[in-house]
Structure 1
């Protein structure tokens, strides 16, 4: 390829730089590049000079492309990435995230997170999801839902984005910081507090994070476990009318509840994960 044809081809490539560069800027930068790469000199023609010029231009174009692709993305696009987990069943779905945090997805709930989640703990939520976050002070855990961001280091809380796009965050343990897109104010929740974002208005109220059984039949606790954890409970017949008084954190680990009942009544228990069944004996 002769010098003139090469120069024409390079000019075409140069003009393909993304449109955010104005025509005036592109033309000025082209003339600067052209004056250096194709300056008339009384030297023997050396083809490698033009190959080098093409390589320089290719580097410039590739660099420009990378620059535009690496522009800051919105938080939503940053999160909605490689891994999508959705609960399409009628029961709670249990998930362990790459950082060992635990998640409970209610029916029709969905979460999205990136491949490098253990280092970049950002996750997007749709529907009602409960989180038990593994502590990691170096990598804050952030949950994005509608226009809100929940930031935690290690705690237990639920995030619920309703069909009306309202966002409700209930804190059971630890502390969380709430942020709303476009607002400078921050809300720090304490256990038992609920953050609600509706119609572009944020509020913090209290909620009851416990369920109380006051001198009720042990079978009432069994029914509670089956409804909220999805495990059927089998009790010895002589314990069906046994009374119990107990306060349970609504998001307590199932095994903790089972162990407590076992110790209170001196019973052994077996948890069958395949059958989703707990047998006391």
Structure 2
């Protein structure tokens, strides 16, 4: 490819990059690049020179946001090196983050976080996601959803963003602080409170974080575990109709519930993670 053709092709690629600045700025940037890569001095043709120019352009294209925009990165783009986890199944997806925090993604939910997450615990959310956060006072855990920010040290809560951009945060344990982009006001939630942000209006309400089983058959508890935790529960036939009265935190750790049933009925249990099955005997 001759010099004129190569120059034409490179400028075509250059102009296809995102318009983060004005056309005048892009044109000035191109002329500066062109003057260096295609100097008019007479010299022997060296193919490697144009290959190097193409390589420089490729580097510029990869880092377009930095090359065309010298302004500092916006605070809204907090996740740079992205790890994206999305639940494209019809069941809850369980994820353990690099800091050992646990996440449950409902169908169609998505989370995005950076490569240095253990030191910079910032995460973006789309959809319905439950968090059980590992305590780390030196590195606050922040969840960004639409225009809201949830800041925690160690707790369990649900963040949900619906298609109409309504954000709901329900707190089950611990404490969280809520912020809205562009506002100085802060909301600190207590367990059993939920924060709602819709149509640029924020409110805090109470919600029932427990589920009560009063004089229910043990088989009903087994079904509850299957539907909410995704584990099949096998209970001895003689115990299926045994009655139980119990209050459970809706986001209680599964093993805590299983141990409680085991102690109440003097049953042994086995949790098979491969089969996703709990067997009482």
Scaled by the length of structure 2, what TM-score is found? Answer: 0.75
Which residue is 1:263 aligned to?
263
User: Structure 1 pair 241/19, CA: closer, same or farther in 2 (3 Å)?
Assistant: closer
Q: What does the per-residue CA deviation read over 1:123-180, in whole Å, with 9 as the maximum and x for residues that have no partner? A: 0000010001111111110000000000001111000001111000000000000001
Cα distance, 1:73 vs structure 2: 2.2
Structure with bigger gyration radius: 1
C-alpha contact (below 8 Å) 1:80/1:112 kept by paired residues: no
> How far apart, CA to CA, are the structure 1 residues paired with 2:272 and 2:70?
49
Which residue is 1:87 aligned to?
87
Number of paired residues? 222
Superposition misfits of 4+ residues, deviation over 2 angstroms: 65-70, 72-75
Matches within 5 A, 1:5-84: 71-75=72-76, 77-79=77-79, 81-84=81-84
Cα distance, 1:80 vs structure 2: 6.2
Cα distance, 1:79 vs structure 2: 2.2
TM-align CA RMSD: 2.1
User: Structure 1 pair 104/80, CA: closer, same or farther in 2 (3 Å)?
Assistant: farther
- In structure 1, stretches of 5+ residues that fail to align are 1-17, 27-64
Cα distance, 1:255 vs structure 2: 0.7
> How far apart, CA to CA, are the structure 1 residues paired with 2:88 and 2:67?
38
User: Structure 1 pair 181/265, CA: closer, same or farther in 2 (3 Å)?
Assistant: same
Which residue is 1:166 aligned to?
166
Scaled by the length of structure 1, what TM-score is found? Answer: 0.75
> How far apart, CA to CA, are the structure 2 residues paired with 1:157 and 1:80?
25
User: Structure 1 pair 69/133, CA: closer, same or farther in 2 (3 Å)?
Assistant: farther
User: Which shifted more, 81-90 or 229-238?
Assistant: 81-90
Matches within 5 A, 1:109-258: 109-258=109-258
Q: What does the per-residue CA deviation read over 1:84-103, in whole Å, with 9 as the maximum and x for residues that have no partner? A: 00011111111100011110
> How far apart, CA to CA, are the structure 2 residues paired with 1:118 and 1:252?
25
